[in-house]
Structure 1
Amino acid sequence: MKRKKITCEIARTISIVKTLATLGHFPTKETEKEAWFLSVLRSETQASFKVSKLINRWYDHGNGMGGNVIDLIVLVLKYSVKEALEFLGNDSPLFSFQQQTLFSDLPKAIQQKETKITIVRTKTIEHPALIQYLRSRQIPLEIAKRCCSEVWYRNHGKTFFAIGLENHLGGWELRNKFFKNCSSPKSYTYLTKGKKQLIIVEGMFDLLSLAVLDKMLIYESDIIVLNSIAFINGVVQLLKKYQKVLLLLDNDSNGNKITTYLLDQYKNVIDQSCVYLNYKDLNEKLIDGII
Structure 2
Amino acid sequence: MMKRKINCERARAFPIEKALAKLGHFPVKTAEKEARFLSPFRSEAQASFKVSRTMNRWYDHGEGMGGNVIDLVCRILNCSVKEALAYLNQDWPSFSFQQQQNFNTNDIGITTTKIQNIKHPALIQYLNLRGIPLHIADTYCHEVWYSFKNSKFFAIGLRNNKNGWELRNKIFKNGCSPKSYTYLQKNNMQLVILEGMFDLLSLAVMNETLINVSDILVLNSLAFIRDIEVHISSYEFVHLYLDNDEAGKKAALYLTNKYGHVLDGSYGYKDHKDLNDFLCHERKE
Please report the TM-score for the alignment, with normalisation by the length of structure 2.
0.65
- Report the 3-state secondary structure (helix = DSSP H, G, I; strand = E; otherwise coil) of the residue aligned with 1:241: coil
- Report the 3-state secondary structure (helix = DSSP H, G, I; strand = E; otherwise coil) of the residue aligned with 2:231: helix
Q: What is the number of residues matched between the two proteins?
A: 200
1:135 maps onto 2:128 in alignment = yes
Asked if structure 1 preserves the Cα contact closer than 8 Å seen for 2:130 and 2:276, the reply is: yes
Asked if structure 1 preserves the Cα contact closer than 8 Å seen for 2:160 and 2:166, the reply is: yes
- Report the 3-state secondary structure (helix = DSSP H, G, I; strand = E; otherwise coil) of the residue aligned with 2:226: helix
Change (3 A) 1:256 1:167: same
Change (3 A) 1:160 1:241: same
Query: Unpaired runs of 5+ in structure 1?
Result: 8-69, 71-76, 87-111
Change (3 A) 1:85 1:276: farther
Q: Which residue of 2 aligns with 1:289?
A: 282
Change (3 A) 1:221 1:2: closer
Change (3 A) 1:264 1:170: same
Q: CA deviation at 1:126?
A: 0.4
Q: Which residue of 2 aligns with 1:213?
A: 206
Q: Which residue of 2 aligns with 1:238?
A: 231
Q: Which residue of 1 aligns with 2:98?
A: none
- Report the 3-state secondary structure (helix = DSSP H, G, I; strand = E; otherwise coil) of the residue aligned with 1:256: helix
Q: Which residue of 2 aligns with 1:248?
A: 241
Q: Which residue of 2 aligns with 1:266?
A: 259
Asked if structure 1 preserves the Cα contact closer than 8 Å seen for 2:195 and 2:242, the reply is: yes
Letter of the structure 2 residue corresponding to residue 289 of structure 1: E
Q: CA deviation at 1:204?
A: 0.4
Q: Deviations over 1:27-49 (max 9, x none)?
A: xxxxxxxxxxxxxxxxxxxxxxx
Letter of the structure 1 residue corresponding to residue 31 of structure 2: K
Change (3 A) 1:132 1:253: same
1:124 maps onto 2:124 in alignment = no
Q: Which residue of 1 aligns with 2:157?
A: 164
Change (3 A) 1:84 1:172: farther
Q: Deviations over 1:153-184 (max 9, x none)?
A: 01111110000000010000000011011001
Q: Which residue of 1 aligns with 2:47?
A: 80
Asked if structure 2 preserves the Cα contact closer than 8 Å seen for 1:171 and 1:184, the reply is: yes
Change (3 A) 1:130 1:265: same
Q: Deviations over 1:15-34 (max 9, x none)?
A: xxxxxxxxxxxxxxxxxxxx
Note the 1:12-161 alignment, pairs <5 A.
Answer: 78-80=45-47, 115-161=108-154
Report the RMSD for the aligned CA atoms in angstroms. Answer: 2.6
Q: CA deviation at 1:115?
A: 3.6
Q: Distance in 2 between matches of 1:246 and 1:138?
A: 22
Structure with more helix by fraction: 1
Q: Which residue of 1 aligns with 2:62?
A: none
Change (3 A) 1:290 1:235: same
- Report the 3-state secondary structure (helix = DSSP H, G, I; strand = E; otherwise coil) of the residue aligned with 2:132: coil
Structure 1 moving runs of 4+ over 6 Å: none
Q: Distance in 1 between matches of 2:256 and 2:269?
A: 18
Letter of the structure 2 residue corresponding to residue 227 of structure 1: N
